[in-house]
């Protein structure tokens, strides 16, 4: 009986099982994370979210948050 050509889903499932068997769940995740390329432009998104505050502005924000959390 000839073995059929595996589907991509079957290959994926077999690969995941092999990784878990040989590396364990945490090792499997760490291995797969090596191939995640990420999305977007971190630098541009960071600037849009945070702006470009100077040191005094950052220090004032830290002090404000510390004061708010202690109240």
Whether 1 maps to a domain, the answer reads: no
pLDDT value, residue 39: 83
Whether 3 maps to a domain, the answer reads: no
Whether 35 maps to a domain, the answer reads: yes
> 47, 39 in Cβ contact below 8 A?
no
Task: Count up the domains in the chain and report the number.
Answer: 1
Whether 61 maps to a domain, the answer reads: yes
Average pLDDT estimate for 23-45: 90
pLDDT value, residue 4: 83
Whether 48 maps to a domain, the answer reads: yes
The percent of residues in the chain predicted with pLDDT above 90, rounded, is: 63
Both structure tokens of 7: 């589907």
Whether 2 maps to a domain, the answer reads: no
- In terms of pLDDT, which residue wins out, 4 or 10? 10
**Is the pTM here over 0.75, yes or no?**
no
> 28, 19 in Cβ contact below 8 A?
yes
């Amino acid at each position: 009986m000839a073995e059929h050509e595996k589907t991509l889903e079957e290959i994926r499932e077999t690969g995941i099982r092999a990784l878990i068997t040989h590396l364990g769940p945490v090792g499997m995740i760490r291995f797969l994370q090596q191939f995640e390329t990420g999305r977007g432009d971190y630098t541009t998104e960071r600037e849009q979210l945070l702006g470009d505050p100077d040191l005094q502005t950052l220090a004032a924000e830290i002090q404000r948050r510390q004061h708010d959390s202690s109240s």
